[in-house]
């Protein structure tokens, strides 16, 4: 029999103990040191069409429930002290081309009438070209507010020079052949990338904390008598929306996979950036449009429609959002696919913010063709409560998921 010297046995025991400790520490004591694995927690054994109907009926019944203003007991109205009203550090923001002047005026008239003439928040106009004199002079006629006409610099607007132009061209063509809107329009890709990762760092936007994004040719149906920016500040909200939809999954084929890749970086430590109260079920739902969740490898494609949004840019400027969106950019997906800024903002806020800080502005009547948020309120005019969209688009409603899976009772009772 071979005798192992005592010294060696002792050494082996020590090595064995240290290895086991490290293994246990990483595997059990530090469970975050493993790949991310999101799970959707609901299961319904009913046909998909029935789920679409149930979700739509629920949406309509919520929309038809009478509402007024948020019952937070801290709404601020300019009427209370009109002479020295102190504005929040906020701006109304729109991107538009010179040729969209009439559409911009159409919407500004409504925003002024329903909200801003009571407060006079400034406007920021963004464009990849210079705004012409006619545009600037005409707009001035419709508001007393300060106006900032800003150019987006080409080095921010255009795609990075490392994007493979040949590959970009081919992928754009492939997506176009699948009828993906704007797939072969380079300026649209630039716009989506700008709104995803650059608008909050534009030199003009940098001076503000809150923004309200709006678009030409959109409608605002209801009087808003309280200061929505102060509402955000006083109630700790970081993001506000009015409409929630599914996306065309072909346009964001690898967005979720790349997000998971990002979260697994740094020896899985990026996972710690996820908020402990993140809206995971909204992001991973797979009941209403399961083919979408399957196609994207786990993302429902549900998002907040970003043509209206009110947000706190400190969130978008945070390390979590920025390191993630810069990683996304490095994959080229804004050009090799057609990632929209809406799914990017929505995944960002749903993962990295507390879901209680995301607010559905149920009282803001709004339309961007072909979807409407029409509250049943005597503050509203010109829309039909409960009419969300055309019958053939019913399955695009994702608001019911937000309501069912992510809103707690206090959020539901705010109106």
User: Least separation, in Å, of the C-beta of 218 and ligand GDP?
Assistant: 9
Q: Angle, to 10 degrees, between the axis of helix 319-330 and the axis of helix 341-352?
A: 140
User: Least separation, in Å, of the C-beta of 108 and Mn ion?
Assistant: 15
Q: Angle, to 10 degrees, between the axis of helix 319-330 and the axis of helix 255-263?
A: 120
By CB under 6 A, tell whether 309 contacts ligand GDP: no
Q: Angle, to 10 degrees, between the axis of helix 341-352 and the axis of helix 255-263?
A: 30
Q: Which does 153 bind (CB under 5 to 8 A by kind): ligand GDP, Mn ion, none?
A: none
The residue within the footprint of ligand GDP, chosen from 55, 107, 116, 127 (CB under 6 A), is 127
- Cα separation, 44 vs 212, in Å, equals 37
Residue number, nearest CB to Mn ion: 215
Find residue 150's DSSP bridge partners: 126
Nearer to ligand GDP, 182 or 295 (CB): 182
- Cα separation, 298 vs 265, in Å, equals 18
Q: Which does 373 bind (CB under 5 to 8 A by kind): Mn ion, ligand GDP, none?
A: none
B/e letters for 134-154, b = 16+ CB within 10 Å, e = fewer, are: ebeeebeebbebebebbbbee
Nearer to ligand GDP, 307 or 350 (CB): 307
Q: Which does 85 bind (CB under 5 to 8 A by kind): ligand GDP, Mn ion, none?
A: none
Residue number, nearest CB to ligand GDP: 187
- Strand-strand pairing, 210-213 and 309-312: antiparallel
The residue within the footprint of ligand GDP, chosen from 215, 219, 225, 395 (CB under 6 A), is 215
User: Least separation, in Å, of the C-beta of 214 and ligand GDP?
Assistant: 8
Q: Which does 270 bind (CB under 5 to 8 A by kind): Mn ion, ligand GDP, none?
A: none
CA dist list (Å): 249 to 42, 66, 299, 335 = 22, 34, 9, 15
Nearer to Mn ion, 307 or 372 (CB): 307
- Cα separation, 377 vs 385, in Å, equals 8
Q: Which does 100 bind (CB under 5 to 8 A by kind): ligand GDP, Mn ion, none?
A: ligand GDP
Per CB under 6 A, which of residues 327..386 are in contact with ligand GDP? Answer: none
Give, for 15, the enclosing helix (H) or strand (E). Answer: helix 6-24
Q: How many degrees, rounded to 5, is the angle at CA 298 between CA 294 and CA 303?
A: 105
Q: Which residue has the tokens 């608008």?
A: 199
Nearer to ligand GDP, 215 or 225 (CB): 215
User: Least separation, in Å, of the C-beta of 233 and ligand GDP?
Assistant: 26
Q: Which does 353 bind (CB under 5 to 8 A by kind): Mn ion, ligand GDP, none?
A: none
- Cα separation, 123 vs 120, in Å, equals 9
- Which x/- pattern, by CB under 6 A, does the window 155-194 give for ligand GDP? --------------------------------xx--x---
Q: What DSSP designation does 152 have?
A: P
Distance from CA of residue 125 to its chain's centroid? 20
Q: How many degrees, rounded to 5, is the angle at CA 28 between CA 405 and CA 285?
A: 20
Size of the site for ligand GDP (CB under 6 A): 13
Nearer to ligand GDP, 17 or 187 (CB): 187
Distance from CA of residue 164 to its chain's centroid? 28
Rg (CA), the chain: 24
User: Within 13 A of 261's CA, how many CA atoms are on the CB side?
Assistant: 12
Per CB under 6 A, which of residues 64..103 are in contact with ligand GDP? Answer: 94-97, 100
Selected catalytic residue, list 112, 171, 309, 406: 309
The residue within the footprint of ligand GDP, chosen from 70, 216, 240, 385 (CB under 6 A), is 216
CA dist list (Å): 23 to 33, 85, 292 = 11, 61, 38
- Known catalytic membership, residue 309: yes
Binding region for Mn ion (CB under 5 A): 215, 307
User: Least separation, in Å, of the C-beta of 408 and ligand GDP?
Assistant: 31
Q: Which does 136 bind (CB under 5 to 8 A by kind): Mn ion, ligand GDP, none?
A: none
Nearer to ligand GDP, 48 or 138 (CB): 138
Give the residue numbers marked as catalytic.
309
Residues in touch with ligand GDP (CB under 6 A): 94-97, 100, 127-128, 187-188, 191, 215-216, 307
């Amino acid at each position: 029999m071979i005798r192992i010297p005592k010294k060696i046995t002792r050494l082996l025991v020590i090595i064995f103990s240290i290895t086991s400790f490290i293994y246990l520490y990483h595997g059990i004591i530090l469970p975050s040191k493993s790949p991310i694995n999101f799970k959707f927690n609901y299961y319904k054994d009913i046909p998909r069409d029935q789920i679409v109907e149930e979700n739509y009926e629920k949406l309509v019944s919520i929309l038809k429930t009478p509402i007024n203003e948020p019952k937070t007991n801290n709404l601020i109205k300019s009427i209370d002290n009109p002479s020295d009203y102190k504005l929040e550090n906020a701006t109304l923001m729109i991107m538009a081309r010179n040729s969209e002047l009439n559409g911009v005026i159409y919407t500004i008239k409504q925003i002024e009438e329903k909200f801003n003439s009571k407060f006079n928040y400034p406007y920021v106009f963004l464009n990849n070209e210079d705004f012409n004199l006619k545009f600037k002079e005409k707009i001035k006629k419709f508001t007393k507010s300060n106006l900032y006409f800003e150019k987006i610099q080409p080095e921010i607007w255009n795609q990075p020079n490392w994007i493979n132009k040949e590959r970009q061209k081919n992928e754009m063509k492939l997506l176009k052949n699948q009828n993906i809107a704007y797939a072969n329009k380079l300026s649209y890709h630039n716009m989506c990338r700008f709104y995803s990762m650059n608008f909050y760092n534009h030199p003009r936007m940098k001076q503000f904390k809150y923004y309200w994004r709006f678009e030409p040719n959109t409608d605002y149906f209801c009087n808003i008598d309280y200061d929505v920016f102060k509402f955000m500040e006083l109630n700790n909200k970081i993001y506000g929306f009015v409409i929630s939809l599914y996306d065309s999954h072909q346009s964001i084929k690898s967005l979720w996979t790349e997000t998971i890749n990002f979260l697994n970086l740094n020896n899985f430590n990026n996972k710690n950036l996820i908020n402990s109260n993140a809206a995971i079920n909204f992001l991973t739902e797979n009941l209403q449009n399961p083919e979408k969740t399957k196609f994207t490898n786990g993302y429902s494609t549900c998002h907040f429609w970003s043509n209206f949004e009110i947000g706190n840019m400190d969130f978008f400027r945070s390390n979590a959002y920025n390191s993630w969106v810069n990683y996304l950019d490095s994959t080229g997906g804004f050009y090799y696919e057609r990632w929209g800024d809406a799914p990017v903002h929505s995944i960002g806020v749903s993962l990295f913010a507390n879901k209680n800080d995301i607010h559905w502005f149920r009282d803001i009547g709004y339309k961007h063709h072909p979807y409407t948020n029409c509250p049943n309120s005597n503050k509203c005019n010109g829309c039909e409560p409960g009419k969300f969209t055309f019958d053939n688009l019913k399955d695009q409603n994702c608001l019911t998921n937000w309501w069912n899976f992510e809103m707690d009772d206090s959020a539901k009772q705010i109106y």
